[in-house]
Chains A and B, each alone.
Chain A
Amino acid sequence: MEVSITKAILAAVTTTRDERITGVPVFYAETEEEMVEMSVILSRVMEAVAHDMGNGVYIIVKH
């Protein structure tokens, strides 16, 4: 049987310099706008979707 990963968090984008995010590449933004812009670029480049975690962290998820 072929096993493959169908969903994966590729990156996280945040404005809070929070050290709790581990295990994925983290991109730090200075402002909210910058965070959104970075999320757009990352999601387009990775062909993935940006999801809002609701706590100032965006995750880029490959579906």
Chain B
Amino acid sequence: MSKEILTIVTGVVLGTVSRFWMMRRDFRQYPSYPHAVVTHLALGFVAATLGAVAIPALAAKEYTAVTFLALAATQFREVRTMEREMLAALEQSALVSRGPDFIEGIARTFEARNYLVVFVSLAASLATHLFSVIPGVIAGIVAMALVRHFMQGKLIGDVARVRPGRLHFEGANLFVDDIHIMNLGLKETHKVYEEYGRAVVIEPIDDNAREILANVGQRQAIAHEVASLLGVRRDVDTAEFTPLLRRNVKTGRVGMVIVPIEPDMECLLEAVKNVPVLESSFVKPLASKAGYCASD
């Protein structure tokens, strides 16, 4: 087999494998099986091919071939739009919506993963071109590990302490510890909350975390994730049992109420801790002079 073909094949295979590896179809079952998975694998294959042909093209002094990568960028932006539009359309039929920030985060991840595939296949094909197939495969695997390591986001459990809260009513107002959640008129609703409702308090560990939890999209993401893990005791006509997260403006603590179908507190805390911190809500006021001196 000619060296060019070998280079391209190594890059394509490693790139496609990396796309498969990056597709974490955990409890969210997203991308949905089988069609969305096939779509993304196919796009991953396209991305891997683009990355793999770049090195042989450069070696053959076909410098204009690199403009293909610009085409890839346009193509992958389409992926982002496609994901965003689809998730936004599905939002209306979800009992607890994901919220625009979560959707944007997912869409951005799908776009970015294609660029990462280009990077992996580029690394694999470069090493194959310079040395041989085995170093090429090793380079691809190292690139995958790097991608996995650096693309790992934080979880709510990393930025906040999550503990059980005390759910109680003062008149018609529902509170979690000292955090006002909402006004609920009906006694029947109060009874359901008192019997089946569970409350969690999320305490930010520093000022960075406080601003993360202040983000409404982040809180909606927590509500969505927890509701999809533990179930939610509501239907379309009982809007009052929608899980809600409200913030104490003085302390930055966030109180959450949910009426889960599975009322295990341990599992609830675990579910909250494992919610990803959204890229769009991640801020670092402590990294600035003003933010740092204001924190005391």
Which chain B residues have a beta carbon within 8 Å of chain A's beta carbons? 171-172, 182-189, 236-240, 242
Q: Which of A36, A44, A49 has the most CB of B within 10 A?
A: A49
**Count, chain A residues at interface, CB 8 A:** 17
How distant is A7 from chain B, measured CB to nearest CB, in Å?
Answer: 11
Q: How far does the alpha carbon of A58 sit from the alpha carbon of B184 in the complex, in Å?
A: 10
Docked-complex contact A36 and B239, CB < 8 angstroms: no
How distant is B241 from chain A, measured CB to nearest CB, in Å?
Answer: 9
Residues of A with C-beta under 8 A to B182: 49
Which chain A residues have a beta carbon within 8 Å of chain B's beta carbons? 36, 39-40, 43-45, 47-52, 54, 58-59, 62-63
Docked-complex contact A54 and B171, CB < 8 angstroms: yes
Q: How far does the alpha carbon of A50 sit from the alpha carbon of B187 in the complex, in Å?
A: 10
Docked-complex contact A54 and B236, CB < 8 angstroms: no
How distant is A40 from chain B, measured CB to nearest CB, in Å?
Answer: 6
Q: How far does the alpha carbon of A62 sit from the alpha carbon of B236 in the complex, in Å?
A: 12
Specify the chain B residue showing the minimal Cβ separation from A36: B186
- Assuming the contacts A51-B172, A52-B172, A54-B172, asked whether A40 and B186 have C-beta atoms less than 8 A apart, the reply is yes
Residues of B with C-beta under 8 A to A43: 186, 237, 239-240
Mostly, the B contact residues are: loop
Query: Among the listed B172, B185, B187, B238, which residue makes an inter-chain contact with A44, where contact means beta carbons less than 8 Å apart?
Result: B238
Q: How far does the alpha carbon of A50 sit from the alpha carbon of B171 in the complex, in Å?
A: 14
- Assuming the contacts A36-B186, A39-B185, asked whether A49 and B240 have C-beta atoms less than 8 A apart, the reply is yes
> Apart from A59-B185, A62-B239, what are 12 other A-B pairs with CB-CB below 8 Å?
A36-B186, A40-B186, A43-B239, A47-B239, A48-B239, A49-B182, A49-B185, A49-B239, A50-B184, A50-B186, A50-B189, A52-B171
Can you list 13 A-B contacts (CB < 8 A)?
A: A36-B187, A43-B237, A43-B239, A44-B238, A48-B239, A50-B184, A50-B240, A51-B184, A52-B183, A52-B184, A52-B185, A54-B172, A63-B242
Residues of B with C-beta under 8 A to A39: 185-186
Q: How far does the alpha carbon of A21 sit from the alpha carbon of B1 in the complex, in Å?
A: 85
How distant is B34 from chain A, measured CB to nearest CB, in Å?
Answer: 34
How distant is A61 from chain B, measured CB to nearest CB, in Å?
Answer: 9
Docked-complex contact B183 and A51, CB < 8 angstroms: yes
Q: How far does the alpha carbon of A11 sit from the alpha carbon of B183 in the complex, in Å?
A: 16
Residues of B with C-beta under 8 A to A44: 237-238
- Assuming the contacts A52-B171, A54-B171, asked whether A47 and B184 have C-beta atoms less than 8 A apart, the reply is no
Residues of B with C-beta under 8 A to A51: 172, 183-185
Q: How far does the alpha carbon of A24 sit from the alpha carbon of B208 in the complex, in Å?
A: 44
How distant is B172 from chain A, measured CB to nearest CB, in Å?
Answer: 4
Q: How far does the alpha carbon of A44 sit from the alpha carbon of B236 in the complex, in Å?
A: 9
Q: Which of A36, A44, A51 has the most CB of B within 10 A?
A: A51
How distant is B121 from chain A, measured CB to nearest CB, in Å?
Answer: 40
Residues of B with C-beta under 8 A to A47: 236-237, 239
How distant is A1 from chain B, measured CB to nearest CB, in Å?
Answer: 14
Residues of A with C-beta under 8 A to B240: 43, 49-50
Residues of B with C-beta under 8 A to A58: 185
Residues of B with C-beta under 8 A to A63: 239, 242
Q: How far does the alpha carbon of A50 sit from the alpha carbon of B223 in the complex, in Å?
A: 21
